[in-house]
Structure 1
């Protein structure tokens, strides 16, 4: 998968160059959507997948709109890696992830452990783990499981909870945080 910088001088590329300077100066607010409004209406996400070897570092929102081509790339990046099934990911989940990343003030990209999960994958994971919900928001493209080497599960969860925009699950034993755009709630330890 190519990232935005490798695609040449497209509309997204020009916006990305312009946005790079704007993102650095953005203030922090209490929820994901307010936080990102302070960024000059530019939103960025950085992730890599240890499962597929892919990475993405991109501006996905400019001037009040998601960039359709970039969202399509994110859908592919966050696919069910076991089956290669792709689902449209809810932009609100990406917003929560990006806002949490900014709150933590890190340069390290997220490691994506799980984005979209097809029903068969979710059922298989439920058989081997008590922590997998039968009606998981992963199956709706509304959740992601993430890890950062430089931040603890507690630090990541607190940043996501500060967004007050969805569900936050702490999985300390497995060293990851679940973020979703469902009802505001938290669980785990």
Structure 2
């Protein structure tokens, strides 16, 4: 594959790794194996088609998470159906930010699903067999994302390059699931 068709050449990957540090949250037991680099700022950009909200947030500087920024991300990624907020696992946010950097995009993610309350997850599960009973969305450890300028395959490749959690490819619905659970991948 060429750089133009995948957006992920070896040079682009190395450049992204050098430009950004995406270490896991300090409590993450495998932090040493999680992306390393020289960057000192982490940023996340998202918008929600459901609420019309936009987020463009630097949430980590010089080795420290910014408490107020993380709080805003938690609110943004809430269950929009019932307005319930849960702390989003910082590892998931880091995977999302790292993937965006690897893809070299300025486009914000379209957030399809962040936190899901148990009630919302049960309702979605009753409508679709693709919704897990014990979804990591209910723990604030997953996000379903879309980019208009990148394919599902490109996004999934970037997320998998992080080697830090689960990556689901949903071609029919045009989104990628990213989570900070066990490293694995699947097609939905």
Q: Aligning the two structures, in what range does the TM-score lie when normalised by the shorter sequence? A: 0.7 to 0.9
Counterpart position of 1:157: 156
Check if 1:184 corresponds to 2:150.
no
Measured after TM superposition, the shift of residue 29 of structure 1 is 2.7
Across the aligned residues of Structure 1 and Structure 2, the Cα RMSD in angstroms comes to 1.7
Check if 1:111 corresponds to 2:103.
no
CA contact (8 A) 1:28 1:38 kept: no
Q: How many residues align?
A: 163
| Aligned 1:1-189 pairs, distance under 5 A | 27-29=15-17, 32-33=22-23, 35=35, 37-39=37-39, 41-188=40-187
Structure 2 unaligned segments of length 5 or more: list them: 1-13, 24-33
Measured after TM superposition, the shift of residue 36 of structure 1 is 6.3
CA contact (8 A) 1:49 1:111 kept: yes
| Cα pair distance change 1:79/1:36, threshold 3 Å | farther
| C-alpha distance in 1 between matches for 2:72 and 2:36 | 20
What TM-score, normalized by structure 1, do the two folds share? 0.82
Structure 1 unaligned segments of length 5 or more: list them: 1-25
What TM-score, normalized by structure 2, do the two folds share? 0.83
